[in-house]
């Protein structure tokens, strides 16, 4: 543990490490609960409003408990860093396991994708969200919102292990037990290709869209904070963000179709 820890933290960690004192553990949870709130707030910003923040918080809390249980105080490592990794991982794993995207959104997404393909064939270019909205008789904002939600679902699935690879194994003498925490070389190749496609897609955005995506996902600024940086309203940043995600979703679909 780093020497930046306060005497109170060190005492609590000692009680937990040496005696497995549950009161000390509960106090540690309260002390680091702000990390859960931070990641819940950041991840919830990418999810549909129908997804309960309390459910995401429960996943994050599980990650915090797991971090406290497994943290080695003898290592020269700040707990905040270790716990953040565990909390975010627990939330993302939980989202991958649950079908959090509403059926209505999935149905709308299929209609949008079908319409986009038809328009692309007739226009000989990728259609805009406004053109798709016009055909479907909905607002441009609704099209971009649906595509935003389904893009995040695709990003989640990039890191998901194929079901047949997770379940197709036996245990006992003569069989090896797979390490579910490690990815196989071929899975690493597929994952790397997915990220490369996403990176290439981002390069096709205009300069302002690239900046918003970078500040939001890499620097983890809120839309309001990005607006302050760029001198634009939160509403305008939200529009740029939604349009950028719509473009990325369209680009990724085209690449997957070609493959």
Span 205-258, pLDDT tens digits: 889 889 988 888 777 777 788 888 889 888 788 778 877 887 787 777 665 544
Neighbours of 137 (CB within 10 A): 6
Which has more pLDDT, 195 or 67? 67
Q: Where are the beta strands (DSSP E) in the chain?
A: none
| Residue 60 pLDDT class (50, 70, 90 cuts) | very high
Question: Which of 63, 97, 131 corresponds to the end of one domain?
Answer: 97
Q: Are residues 65 and 163 in the same domain?
A: no
Distance, in Å, from the CA atom of 241 to the CA atom of 214, rounded to the nearest integer, reads 10
105 part of a folded domain? no
121 part of a folded domain? no
Residue written as tokens 């975010």? 88
Q: Is the pTM of this model over 0.75?
A: no
Q: Are residues 87 and 153 in the same domain?
A: no
106 part of a folded domain? no
Which has more pLDDT, 4 or 39? 39
48 part of a folded domain? yes
The CATH number assigned to the domain holding 73 equals 1.10.1740.10
Distance, in Å, from the CA atom of 30 to the CA atom of 25, rounded to the nearest integer, reads 9
Question: Which of 29, 63, 97 corresponds to the end of one domain?
Answer: 97
Q: What is the pLDDT of residues 148-185, one digit of tens each?
A: 777 666 656 554 544 444 444 333 333 333 444 444 55
The CATH number assigned to the domain holding 161 equals 1.20.140.160
Q: Are residues 151 and 250 in the same domain?
A: yes
33 part of a folded domain? yes
Range of the domain at 223: 142-258
119 part of a folded domain? no
Which has more pLDDT, 197 or 33? 33
108 part of a folded domain? no
pLDDT of residue 258: 43
1 part of a folded domain? no
Q: Look at the chain and report how many structural domains it folds into.
A: 2
Distance, in Å, from the CA atom of 91 to the CA atom of 30, rounded to the nearest integer, reads 18
Q: Kindly report which listed range (58-62, 107-111, 165-169) carries the lowest average pLDDT score.
A: 165-169
Q: Are residues 92 and 164 in the same domain?
A: no
Q: Are residues 20 and 84 in the same domain?
A: yes
């Amino acid at each position: 543990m780093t020497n930046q820890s306060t005497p109170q933290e060190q005492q609590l960690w000692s009680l937990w490490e040496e005696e497995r004192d549950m009161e000390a553990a509960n106090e540690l949870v309260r002390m680091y609960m702000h990390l859960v709130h931070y990641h819940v707030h950041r991840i919830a910003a990418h999810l549909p409003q129908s997804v309960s923040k309390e459910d995401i918080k429960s996943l994050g809390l599980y990650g915090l408990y797991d971090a406290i249980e497994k943290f080695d105080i003898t290592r020269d490592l700040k707990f905040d860093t270790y716990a953040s990794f565990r909390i975010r991982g627990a939330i993302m794993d939980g989202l991958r396991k649950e079908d959090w995207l509403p059926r209505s959104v999935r149905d709308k997404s299929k209609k949008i994708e079908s319409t986009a393909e038809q328009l692309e064939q007739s226009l000989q270019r990728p259609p805009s969200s406004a053109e798709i909205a016009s055909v479907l008789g909905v607002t441009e904002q609704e099209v971009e919102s649906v595509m935003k939600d389904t893009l995040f679902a695709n990003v989640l699935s990039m890191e998901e292990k194929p079901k047949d690879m997770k379940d197709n194994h036996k245990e006992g003498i003569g069989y090896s037990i797979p390490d579910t925490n490690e990815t196989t070389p071929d899975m690493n190749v597929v994952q790397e290709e997915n990220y490369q496609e996403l990176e290439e897609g981002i390069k096709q955005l205009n300069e302002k869209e690239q900046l918003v995506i970078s500040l939001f996902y890499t620097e983890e600024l809120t839309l309001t904070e990005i607006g302050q940086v760029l001198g634009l309203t939160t509403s305008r940043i939200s529009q740029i963000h939604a349009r950028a995600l719509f473009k990325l979703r369209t680009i990724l679909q085209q690449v997957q179709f070609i493959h």
